[in-house]
Amino acid sequence: MRVHNIVVDELERGAFDLVHTRNMLFHLTERQTALGRMVSALKPGGVLTPDAEFWRLSYTQIRDRILGTGQLSPGECDAFIALFDDPDFIWMGAVLMAVSGRRPLA
């Protein structure tokens, strides 16, 4: 693991089989620059899985379990998954929360 600024730091071209980003792109104003640099870092045949692609694949894999809850119809579930293919859809990923507390002495 390394600390790396995808927008400005040097990145090896054609060096990676997999480039994955999670909970990062929606924070950047330079998304297109970052994505272009990630694509350039892939080896031929390499795979890029940005956050939205990760979630689309995840929801596709658990579709039957989602439908098993009875909370969504097959059409609603498929329409939701299809949103990840829409370039205008903005996915915020999982909500992250930080909490702290103190255990009572007694």
Task: Provide the strand spans (E) within the chain.
Answer: 16-20, 42-49
How much is the pLDDT for 14? Answer: 93
pTM for this entry: 0.52
pLDDT tens digits for range 61-79: 889 998 998 998 999 999 9
How much is the pLDDT for 56? Answer: 73
- For residue 101, give the H/E element and its range: none
Binned average pLDDT, 10 residues per bin, the chain of 106 residues: 82 88 76 87 85 74 90 92 81 55 65
Cross-strand bridge partners of residue 16: 42
CA distance 82 to 22: 19
Contact present, 33 and 7 (Cβ < 8 Å): yes
